[in-house]
Structure 1
Amino acid sequence: MSERHSARQILTLVTDPGTFTELPHPASAAKPDGPLGWAGYDASRGRAAERTGEEESVACGTARVEGIRAVLIAFEFGFLGGSLGERTGDRLEAAYSHARAHRLPVVPLIATGGSRMQEGMLALSQLQRVARQSALTREAGLAQIAVLRDPTTGGGWATLGGGADVVLALPGAQVGFAGSRVRPPAADPAAYTAESQVAVGSADEVVDPAGLKRVLGAWLRLLTSPSADAPPPPRALGTAGLPATGWHAVRHARAPERPRAQAYLDAFFTRRRDISGDRCGGRDPEGMLCGFGERDGRTVAYAAQTGAATRPAGYRTAARLIRLADRLGIPVLTLVDTPGAANDAEAERQGAGAAIAEVFGAVAAARVPLTTLVMGEGGSGGALALAAPGNTWATPDSYFSVIAPELAAAILKRPEAEVEATADQLMIRPQDLVELGVVRGIVHPAQP
């Protein structure tokens, strides 16, 4: 179990000293014992208020986090389990409305057991109000960064938590739609943890309380400081010489010592943070790196293939990244390096075709500038999906092909001895790609 902080404690932990200002509480006419007339409800609320010092299960206000202004929504679990009722909904709606009116990102600091039983369906319907406020804020191009505390269950997880753009979580926090008192008795409790949600791509990062302010501040800065221009293609990090033949291009791109995505990202950005997972139960850390980085003081998003066959979760994560960047007005850099999409039976069961289609669609619909660098293998549609139309570049140690030369020869029923000649026929060298108009140009290593 994670250490539990009160609403005021978590606000003190993440905000710059003296900057938190609570928003005015919306006026609401309370009926005796609530809308259902639930006997003893008023007394329960009174005891909760006396115990916590709060009048409701959320405290909402504005503050600075590492210098970045934001609207913060801090749940108080000690107030009726941080549950949502009508008055909670009033406060949440007011907080989101304030964020849109003042163009501020929203940070829900969640610790809730779900909807308030004493208010019945009127409490559950608050989730629709919350979802609408979140959707309106998303449409307004404002970032939402959730912090999952212990516990984050029920509708709070299914709206404010799971619906956020970036999801951070405290170590050991209970996170799941089903709380501990309602899940099946035989259920594995490890599945309902922050760590498990990161492992299946439903949350991005587990952060220790001591580092939460720094990490939250970094995310707020990245998501509110977009670059105004298309990112330049990164300089090449590998060999400078152009390949003499198509097969030489393939060999250079497949060389084990060739620099990969990690090296390119480290050289291009001052600092960066990864998002993790496709929000559909999958991750592809071996095949795709996605996130946001700082370059020249401004933010650029990135989706980078790592040289492995890209799995469906990797494509869905890239599509998530591109759509989020587009909504926030952040330009995108993509790095192409894959022999192709994973084509094993499990990849097909995971929806490889639909996942690649998501990326093609996200790239096609993007309104922000996109830049692509082919810096390794460009294998078929699994590579092309990430390529920016009209703004794709290549390194000398790369190739881009409709299909791998070996597979092309096999399809054409050619003997193995003709693979190299087939590579030449495909015109896959960087200089061939420039001649064909597929890439804009070749980037070379920086001069020593």
Structure 2
Amino acid sequence: MAERLSARAAIALVTDDFTELTAPTPPPAGGAGEPDAGQAADGPLGWDGYGASRARAARRTGEDESVVFGTATVGGRRCVLVVFEFGFLGGSLGRAAGDRLVAAYAAAGARRVPLVSLVATGGSRMQEGMIALTQLQRVAAAAVRLRAAGLPHVTVLRDPATGGGWATVGAGADVVLALPSAQVAFAGSRVRPADADPAAYTAEDQHAHGHVDALVPPERLREALALWLRLLTPEAGEEPVAAPPPRALRERELPATGWEAVRAARAPERPRAGAYLDAYFDVRAAISGDRAGGVDPTVECGFGVHEGRAVAYAAQLGGATRPAGFRTVARLARLADRLGIPVLTLIDTPGAANDAAAERAGAGPAIAEAFTAIAEARTPVTSLLVGEGGSGGALALAAPGNTWVTPDGYFSVIAPELAAQILKRPPEQVPATADQLRLRPQDLVALGVVRGIVG
């Protein structure tokens, strides 16, 4: 179990300074679905003893609600910070807490700064019944408005992050960080099946299944948040300009034949996408997972700084790309597009994974999602083919009209070996088939498939 910090301790841990804000006074009761939850001492349901419980929680924590928010600086970056106090009725959400959450989202939008949330909650407050539960709808609407404004939301999941607070504020963020060993789950500890695997309710398991981007220990939180605020927030007035393609990491002559191009792309000593990312970015941070239960280790997506500017990236690392990888690429492209950050994709895959597990996980729909996310992006997308470009699994990451190739790369409608099989040719005709496919870098330029060969 992660250490349970109070709201004020969490604020002190991550901020350079903090100025608390107050939520606007809610309108009086009378509107449908908008009762005045704060007037009666025992709340909108008249729950016996609720007022006394609130008073005890206030004396114990020094807070008058489960949510605190205000303006803050994190590593020199301005933001609006919203923090849950778990000691106040388990960090639960009622009408007053909902008012503060909605006000925090609105404050970030009004100030044109990112929102950072530090979540520690057991869920909706049962003493306020359905009034408490409907706060999730209000938070979702506030999140929609923040996204429409093109502003990012970074969350940190403390212990515990469960129920509606996880399913809205936490899971709804653009980047999700979590403290190691924190409980992270929709189901709280007292309502889980008796035979449930306890590992499924941990930050580590949520990370392994694509729902959390990174596990960050408390001593590194301020640094991690400052980096993410830098990466997700372009400088004021900075227009999204297409990222320049990386330079080739080794010099070599262009291949004389198609089969020579294929062998060069498959050579173990050929520079891989990771080396290109290291050379291109001064600093970078990765997102992880497709938010649908999957992580593909053959794909890395994230944001970095190149020549002082934020650039999003999606890189295939040389393996067969799985459905989760394509969905993560689509997630990255859509987030970068919403924030106005240019995208760089690095292409290197023999093709999409085609085993039974990949088909059952939705290989076709996932590839379609990646194609669509690249096609609909308003922000500039630049692509570099650094190795193998196997069929649609590679083309799904390619920017139409702005794809480049290194001397080590090849693009092909299908692998030469598979083309020969389909054409019922013997194995010794694979090299000749590679020539016929016109897959060399210089062929791709001549065909208009790529803009040029990087040097």
Partner of 2:29: none
- Of 376, 385, 392, which aligns to 2:387? 376
Q: Would you say 1:289 and 2:287 are equivalent positions?
A: no
Give the match for residue 52 of structure 2.
43
1:112 aligns with: 121
Q: Percent identity?
A: 70
Cα distance in structure 2, aligned partners of 1:425 and 1:239: 26
* Equivalent-residue separation in structure 2 for 1:437 and 1:212 (angstroms): 47
The offset of 1:95, in angstroms, is 1.1
Tell me the distance in 1 between the aligned counterparts of 2:324 and 2:206. 15
State the distance in 1 between where 2:452 and 2:252 align: 14
Once the two structures are superposed, the pairs formed by residues 164-183 of structure 1 within 5 Å of their partners are 164-183=173-192
What is the CA-CA distance between 1:237 and the residue it aligns to? 1.0
- For 2:447 and 2:440, the matched residues in 1 are separated by 10
Match of 1:262 in 2: 274
Aligned to 2:166: 157
Counterpart of 2:111 in structure 1 is: 102
Q: Among residues 140, 143, 146, which one is paired with 1:131 in the alignment?
A: 140
Structure 1 residue identity aligned to 2:212: A
Choose which of 344, 350, 357 in structure 2 pairs with 1:339: 350
Select between 185-194 and 221-230 the one with higher mean Cα deviation: 221-230
Q: TM-score, normalised by structure 2?
A: 0.96
Q: Secondary structure at the match of 2:424?
A: coil
Cα distance per residue 1:250-287 (max 9 Å; x no partner): 000000111101100000000000000000000011x1
**CA–CA distance in structure 2, aligned partners of residues 438 and 133 of structure 1:** 43
- The within-5 A match list for 1:241-260 is 241-260=253-272
**Structure-2 residue corresponding to 1:421:** 432
Q: What's the CA shift string for 1:80-130, capped at 9, x where partnerless?
A: 000000011111111111111111111110000000000000000000000
Deviation of 1:417 (Å): 1.3
1:112, 1:151 within 8 Å by CA — same for their partners in 2?
Answer: yes
SS at match of 2:130: helix
1:39-93 Cα distance to aligned partner (Å, 9 max, x none): 0110000000000000000000000000111011100000000000001111111
Shift of 1:27: 2.1
Could you list the structure 1 runs, at least 4 aligned residues long, displaced by more than 3 angstroms after superposition. none
Amino acid aligned to 1:32? A
What is the Cα-based RMSD across aligned positions, in Å?
0.9
Q: Which residue of 2 aligns with 1:349?
A: 360
Between 1:221-230 and 1:403-412, the stretch displaced more is 221-230
CA distance in 2, matches of 1:118, 1:395: 63
* Structure 1 contact 239–397 (Cα < 8 Å) conserved: no
Separation of aligned partners in 2, 1:349 and 1:27: 51
Output the CA distance in 2 between the equivalents of 1:25 and 1:433: 59
Q: What are the Cα deviations for residues 205-253 of structure 1, in whole angstroms up to 9, with x where unaligned? A: 0000001000011001100026631111100113421000000000000
Q: Secondary structure at the match of 1:368?
A: coil
Matched residue, 2:83: 74
- Total equivalences in the alignment: 441
Question: How far off its partner does 1:26 sit?
Answer: 2.6
Output one character per residue of 1:364-393: Cα deviation in whole Å (capped at 9) or x when no partner: 100000000001000000000000000000
Report the counterpart of residue 97 of structure 2 in structure 1.
88
> How far apart, CA to CA, are the structure 2 residues paired with 1:351 and 1:239?
39
Structure 2 SS opposite 1:20:
strand
Quick check: 1:274 aligned with 2:283? no
Question: 1:8 Cα deviation (Å)?
Answer: 0.4
Measured in 2, the distance between the counterparts of 1:262 and 1:428 equals 24
2:25 maps to 27
Distance 1:297 1:183 in 2: 48
From 406, 412, 423, the equivalent of 1:401 is 412
Q: How does 1:321-332 map to 2 (within 5 A)?
A: 321-332=332-343
| TM-score, normalised with respect to structure 1 | 0.97
- List per-residue Cα deviations over 1:315-343 (Å, max 9, x = no partner): 10010000000000000000000000000
Q: Which runs of 5+ in 2 are unaligned?
A: 27-37
SS at match of 2:320: coil
For residues 129 and 296 of structure 1, the distance between their equivalents in structure 2, rounded to whole angstroms, comes to: 40
Instruction: Output the CA distance in 1 between the equivalents of 2:307 and 2:39.
Output: 53
Query: What whole-Å deviation, never above 9, does each CA across 1:144-186 have from its counterpart, x for those lacking one?
Result: 0010000000000100111100000001100000011000011
Residue in structure 1 matched with residue 211 of structure 2 by the alignment: 202
Moved more, 93-102 or 374-383: 93-102
Give the whole-Å Cα distance in 1 for the aligned partners of 2:243 and 2:72: 31
Please give the alpha-carbon distance, in whole angstroms, between the structure 1 residues aligned to 2:334 and 2:97: 30
Query: C-alpha separation between the residues in 2 aligned to 1:266 and 1:40?
Result: 59
CA distance in 1, matches of 2:232, 2:23: 28
